[in-house]
Amino acid sequence: MHIESKIVHGGQHPDKETGALAPPIYQTSTFAFRSAEHGARLFKQEEKGYIYTRLSNPTIDLLGSKIALLESAEAGVVFASGLAAIFNVVVTLTKAGEHVVSDNTIYGGTYALFKSILPKIGIEVTFCNTADADQLVSCIKDNTRLIFTETPANPTLKIVDIARCSEIARAKNIPLCVDNTFATPYLQRPVELGADIVVHSATKYFSGHGDIIGGVVVGKKDFAHQLWEDAKEIGACSSPFNAWLVLRGLKTLAVRMDRHCESAMKIAEYLAKHDKVEKVYYPGLTSHPGYELAKKQMSDFGGMLGFDVKGGKEAGKTIMNSVKLCILAVSLGDVDTLIEHPASMTHSTYSDEELRGCGINPGYVRISVGLEHVDDLIADLDQALSKI
């Protein structure tokens, strides 16, 4: 089956009892046992069934299995947020005294989790540029238990060679986890390129409508089972309604992504020609250092882009305060076009030196291209650029 058909039908069947085509929302905290013995068997995992929604729930499980199918993975686990998904992956694979290697250009919240929270529980993180194979190899230690990367990276759209990273990770027997939020499985499937684990902020393109927070992890069955065992006790479970909204949003992922990509390319081309724009960051432009690699490992270039304006931070602020159609807000992957300033917003968890180190300039502006008519978006950016 093509991915477009899996996106519509995957993991789904009309409800067995009623024939309802849309999956039911099992909006319940608990599930009644048939008898005391039945409840005890479920707790011992001698029999399959539902106990309590923090442990599992049919609506939430359906989402996990659907994302696993789309990512060519064996199993999936759903979380309350993308960050909860990432935290649970780390906690399942590492313990105090162990080590993680992470790319240095990642979502600012993930960066803060790795830089400030993990050391509190004795997990050390080394940041490096995972696109540089030598750097990655040199950061791996005997106690490294996880390699984490994000591609395309938030916010610079840096492209990391997933197959190369997975070769390095495999040679050392360390799992490779890829944050695939920007691409989605419609454009890129890290497991097919050798990654062991894929994480998502389902808040973004999966939901597509900016109305929930959610996260998903997919990987091998044994890993997903252990992740689920640990997650039960950590408690960052999704609500059934949020999982249902993601299932609903997912149905249109392919057509939304096609439009996001098409419009992002046109906006990138427009910005690249603008005399007030210093540099455009979009992997679909041949000038982008990751263009060839993106062409190889992605089926299209995505809906995210960024640019540096001439005049730095002040000029960037002028644009963000002048747009009328684009919304000044963080998050991404929504039907609405969102514009933001990473250095003071999504990546304010980086110091100025750390920002410089991974090429996030003070005036860098990030755009999540939405589903409005592209000519209206270009007209809006044009009038905002004219205010500089």
181 or 263: CB nearest ligand PLP: 181
Decide: is 239 part of the binding site for ligand PLP (CB under 6 A): no
Contact 211, 339 (CB under 8 A): no
Q: How far is the CB of 150 from ligand PLP (least distance, A)?
A: 5
179 is an interface residue for ligand PLP by CB under 6 A: yes
Residue 204 known to be catalytic: yes
| Parallel, antiparallel or unpaired: strands 99-103 and 144-150 | parallel
The pair of structure tokens assigned to 34 is: 């048939």
Which residue among 11, 23, 76, 109 contacts ligand PLP (CB under 6 A)? Answer: 109
Is 170 marked active-site?
Answer: no
Do residues 82 and 180 make contact, with C-beta atoms less than 8 angstroms apart?
no
Catalytic residue of the set 61, 103, 161, 179: 179
Sheet holding 338-340, edge to edge: 277-281, 304-309, 364-368, 338-340, 327-328
The C-alpha atoms of residue 55 and residue 235 are separated, in whole angstroms, by 8
User: Considering beta carbons, is residue 75 or 83 the nearer one to ligand PLP?
Assistant: 83
Among 76, 185, 210, 215, binds ligand PLP (CB under 6 A): 215
- Among all residues, whose Cβ is closest to ligand PLP? 82
Question: Binding ligand PLP by CB under 6 A: which of 104, 203, 242, 361?
Answer: 203
Q: What is the CA radius of gyration of the chain?
A: 21
Report the residue number, 59 or 180, with the smaller CB distance to ligand PLP: 180
In whole angstroms, give the CA distance from residue 68 to residue 350. 32
Q: How far is the CB of 179 from ligand PLP (least distance, A)?
A: 5
Adjacent-strand bridge partners of 31: none
Query: What is the separation, in whole angstroms, between the first and last Cα of the chain?
Result: 50
Among candidate residues 267, 327, 306, the one with its CA nearest the CA of residue 153: 306
Site for ligand PLP contains 110 (CB under 6 A): yes
Count Cβ neighbours within 10 Å for each residue of 137-152 and write b for 16 or more, e otherwise.
Answer: eebbeeebbbbbbbbb
Interface region with ligand PLP, contact rule CB under 6 A, candidates 68-76, 77-85, 189-197, 219-227:
77-85
Q: Is 107 a catalytic residue?
A: yes
Closest separation in Å from C-beta 257 to ligand PLP: 16
DSSP letters for 150-163: ESSPTTT-----HH
- The number of residues that bind ligand PLP (CB under 6 A) is 15
> Is 61 one of the annotated active-site residues of the chain?
no
- DSSP annotation of 336 reads S
Element housing 75 (H / E): strand 75-79
Question: Residues 102, 181, 337, 361: which binds ligand PLP (CB under 6 A)?
Answer: 181
Rule CB under 6 A: is residue 367 a binding residue for ligand PLP?
Answer: no
Of 6, 26, 107, 161, catalytic: 107
Which residues of the shown chain bind ligand PLP in the complex (CB under 6 A)?
81-83, 107, 109-110, 150, 154, 179, 181-182, 201, 203, 213, 215
Residues that are catalytic: 54, 107, 179, 204
